[in-house]
Chains A and B, each alone.
Chain A
Amino acid sequence: MTTTAHVALEEVTKQYGATTVLDRVDLSVERNEVVTLIGASGSGKSTLLRCVNGLEPIQGGRISLNGDVVSGDGVDLVRLRRRVGIVFQSFNLFPHITVLRNCTLTPVRAKIATKARAEADARVMLERVGLGDKADAYPEQLSGGQQQRVAIARAMLMRPEVLLLDEITSALDPELVIEVLNLVRELADDGITMMMTTHELPFAREISSKLCFLHKGNILEQGPPEQIFNEPRSPELKNFLRRIHEAGRN
């Protein structure tokens, strides 16, 4: 089967032992689109992203990138991961090396650039995320928001075709969230294909071309943000939106 979608998930099933985390999920992401996964904790949002990057193997269905199957046996995971970047909730910068070296390690090892070239690129990218002066600092000298911006820069320096953002503001102090969201907004404006999970629903509504509501490993509803927020059909989504609203997050 061929598809024109940039990222396509067909009947993807993920199990941890007897627990089914993703149950025959179908999802397609078009080029330059921003797709946001929403849903309660444990609904399978993060797992879905980790499957797309090949960090978790899937037990059924398939995932394709540009029509090329990237799940199952025989996939060059190293190459796949260079095409699909991911940024995590907990930043996961390497604490023993400087910010600059965090950014250049993989491009140099992957022979995407020479050391000199990679450093020049990294400095430009760090400048762009507003951290040009922090190149020689160590991660723990930075605030959470700054660390997360470095993590995004680090992922972008691999020039990924798709960027996955997994709850990237959930570990940040409220006043630091905005700087990271602004950066994501810029990247979206540049047209990079993104899949993300977030609890920042107003932001998701503003930036996404499509929202997917996950519930117990299934995508119950998907569509443009207005449809999801204004015309929820399933009782689960209505319930979810109501609880978010009561918590004052929307």
Chain B
Amino acid sequence: MSAATLDEGTADGSAPGAEGSAPARPLRTSGYLGAAAVLALLTVVLCYQFAGTLLTGPAPRILAGAVLPVLVLGGPLLLAHQRNRLSEEEWEAGRHTESRVAAARSRNASVSSLGLTGFVAVVAVAGLLVFTNDGAVQKTFFNMSFMTRSLGDVFGALLINIQIAVGAQLLAMTFGLVLAVARLLPGKGFWPVRVLAIAYIDVFRGIPSVVLIYLVCFGLPLTEVPVLSEGDPVVYAIIALALTYSAYNAELYRAGIESINPGQTSAALSMGLSQPDVLRFVILPQMSRNIAAPMLSQFIGLQKDTALVIVVGIIDAFSQAKIYSANDFNLSAVTAVCFVFVLVTIPQTRFVDYLLARSGTKLKRV
């Protein structure tokens, strides 16, 4: 409908669509405001409880557990309420657009309030859990003196985890690519190769890593086959994890290769590039950008799985911490291992984000 007919419709009130052209009321705000207010109230109660576990005496508890949260959470809520009132006033005054704008701003303020309140509520619940029962959770898992005492040895033992993770990842990336390419080989003649690759992937993706580590590390030395049975336990662990993760990586590579537009292969072949050259110069470089992020997730999974070597008696970060915790009758040393693993993985994630952003801007640079 054109603007002209719309205007006419409003003017004489009889044209088709006349009732539809009455000014639209602002979208409702009360649901947002109500939800924000209820959540804020519950959060203040939580904060008051949390303050009770940490502070003694009613005055500081009321100050930190009630007054402070009310001041912090009340701001956006008050704003949402004021804008809501403003919206109603503007509507009464006939300023419909202004009314709708005020209502939208009220909803925005309610959403901000919900976000802030949710954050505070989660922090309060976590704090309540850790410090409840006279700080029992805190003393069991986060005892600073036990943590710091074990940290040096835990870091030393972490070198074993890093060795295993890096070694297994390099092997698994190489062998995984071989598997993926084997699985994608075209033509009738290659079917036995494809079957082998598929069988390998199916089998080794299905076996739990911890079982494979157990079998390889304890089994190979028993075979007394020259070379095979004379390895270091760490080398066996690397092999065991590489066996599993190459199967995962093969599927990742395959998805990556299949994500490249077939036109790229057509173009590369049509110019007279050989099949291996097409893979090397056209498919793999484009694929690696697509799979960088999932490959890192896979690698982080592998890093965490290195803690499984505890079952074969290799002293890694986790088993080192377990020795401490057994001596101390306290799990803080093991919690320290958690911190250490997280500390190692976070920079990697940021690094891949950076790489992806950079390759993106390189392509879009104008």
Whether chain B is bound by chain A comes out as yes
Fill in one digit per residue for B258-293: 1 if any A CB lies within 8 Å of its CB, else 0.
000101101111111110010001100110010000
Q: A55-B270, A94-B286 provided; 8 other pairs, C-beta below 8 A?
A: A78-B272, A82-B271, A92-B261, A94-B281, A96-B285, A96-B289, A105-B271, A110-B272
A236 CB → nearest B CB, Å: 30
B286 / chain A contacts, CB cutoff of 8 Å: 94-96
The reply to whether A109 and B281 form a contact with Cβ atoms under 8 Å apart is yes
B270's nearest neighbour on chain A, judged by CB, is A86
Among A92, A105, A138, A151, which residue has its beta carbon within 8 angstroms of that of B273?
A105
Cβ < 8 Å to A, chain B residues 216-264: 261, 263-264
Cβ < 8 Å to B, chain A residues 90-126: 90, 92-97, 105-106, 109-110
Cβ < 8 Å to A, chain B residues 313-366: 362-366
Contacts A88-B263, A92-B266: A79 and B363 contacting too (C-beta < 8 A)?
no
CA distance A141 to B361 in the complex (A): 12
CA distance A23 to B339 in the complex (A): 69
CA distance A93 to B267 in the complex (A): 8
B271's nearest neighbour on chain A, judged by CB, is A106
Among A79, A85, A97, A138, which residue has its beta carbon within 8 angstroms of that of B270?
A85
Can you list 21 A-B contacts with CB-CB less than 8 angstroms, sorted by A residue number?
Answer: A78-B272, A78-B274, A81-B269, A81-B272, A82-B271, A85-B271, A92-B267, A93-B267, A94-B264, A94-B286, A95-B286, A95-B363, A96-B285, A105-B273, A105-B281, A106-B272, A109-B273, A138-B362, A140-B363, A141-B366, A155-B271
Contacts A88-B263, A92-B266, A140-B364: A154 and B272 contacting too (C-beta < 8 A)?
no
The reply to whether B271 and A141 form a contact with Cβ atoms under 8 Å apart is no
How many pairs of residues, A versus B, come closer than 8 Å at their CB atoms?
68
The reply to whether B364 and A94 form a contact with Cβ atoms under 8 Å apart is no
Sorted nearest first, the 8 A-B pairs with minimum C-beta distance are A82-B272, A92-B267, A81-B272, A106-B271, A92-B263, A86-B270, A96-B285, A96-B286
CA distance A102 to B155 in the complex (A): 48
A217 CB → nearest B CB, Å: 21
Q: Decide yes or no whether A158 CB sits under 8 A from chain B.
A: yes
Cβ < 8 Å to A, chain B residues 43-83: none
Fill in one digit per residue for A67-97: 1 if any B CB lies within 8 Å of its CB, else 0.
0000000000111111001101010111111
The number of residues on chain A lying at the interface, defined by a beta carbon within 8 Å of a beta carbon of chain B, is 29
The reply to whether B272 and A158 form a contact with Cβ atoms under 8 Å apart is yes
A86's nearest neighbour on chain B, judged by CB, is B270
CA distance A154 to B282 in the complex (A): 15
The reply to whether A92 and B272 form a contact with Cβ atoms under 8 Å apart is no
CA distance A77 to B271 in the complex (A): 10
The reply to whether B271 and A81 form a contact with Cβ atoms under 8 Å apart is yes
The reply to whether B269 and A55 form a contact with Cβ atoms under 8 Å apart is yes
The reply to whether A109 and B266 form a contact with Cβ atoms under 8 Å apart is no
A78 CB → nearest B CB, Å: 5
Q: Decide yes or no whether A53 CB sits under 8 A from chain B.
A: yes
B168 CB → nearest A CB, Å: 29
The reply to whether A53 and B273 form a contact with Cβ atoms under 8 Å apart is no
B364's nearest neighbour on chain A, judged by CB, is A140
The reply to whether A55 and B271 form a contact with Cβ atoms under 8 Å apart is no
Among B277, B285, B289, which residue has its beta carbon within 8 angstroms of that of A109?
B277
A53 / chain B contacts, CB cutoff of 8 Å: 270
CA distance A78 to B270 in the complex (A): 8
The reply to whether B363 and A94 form a contact with Cβ atoms under 8 Å apart is no
B364 / chain A contacts, CB cutoff of 8 Å: 140-141
B268 / chain A contacts, CB cutoff of 8 Å: 94, 106
B287's nearest neighbour on chain A, judged by CB, is A96
B291 CB → nearest A CB, Å: 14
B215 CB → nearest A CB, Å: 42
B274 / chain A contacts, CB cutoff of 8 Å: 78, 109
CA distance A81 to B266 in the complex (A): 11
The reply to whether A90 and B363 form a contact with Cβ atoms under 8 Å apart is no
Among B267, B285, B366, which residue has its beta carbon within 8 angstroms of that of A88?
B267
Cβ < 8 Å to B, chain A residues 148-173: 151, 154-155, 158
CA distance A89 to B263 in the complex (A): 10
Fill in one digit per residue for A29-55: 1 if any B CB lies within 8 Å of its CB, else 0.
000000000000000000000000101
A93 / chain B contacts, CB cutoff of 8 Å: 267
Contacts A55-B266, A88-B266: A154 and B271 contacting too (C-beta < 8 A)?
yes
CA distance A82 to B266 in the complex (A): 13
B289 / chain A contacts, CB cutoff of 8 Å: 96
CA distance A100 to B269 in the complex (A): 18
B280's nearest neighbour on chain A, judged by CB, is A109
B261 / chain A contacts, CB cutoff of 8 Å: 92
B271 / chain A contacts, CB cutoff of 8 Å: 81-82, 85, 105-106, 154-155, 158
A248 CB → nearest B CB, Å: 28
CA distance A93 to B268 in the complex (A): 9
B49 CB → nearest A CB, Å: 56
A141 / chain B contacts, CB cutoff of 8 Å: 364-366
B266 / chain A contacts, CB cutoff of 8 Å: 55, 88, 92
The reply to whether A138 and B365 form a contact with Cβ atoms under 8 Å apart is yes
A164 CB → nearest B CB, Å: 8
Fill in one digit per residue for A214-243: 1 if any B CB lies within 8 Å of its CB, else 0.
000000000000000000000000000000
Among A55, A105, A138, A151, which residue has its beta carbon within 8 angstroms of that of B363?
A138
B277 / chain A contacts, CB cutoff of 8 Å: 109
B362 / chain A contacts, CB cutoff of 8 Å: 138
A77 / chain B contacts, CB cutoff of 8 Å: 269
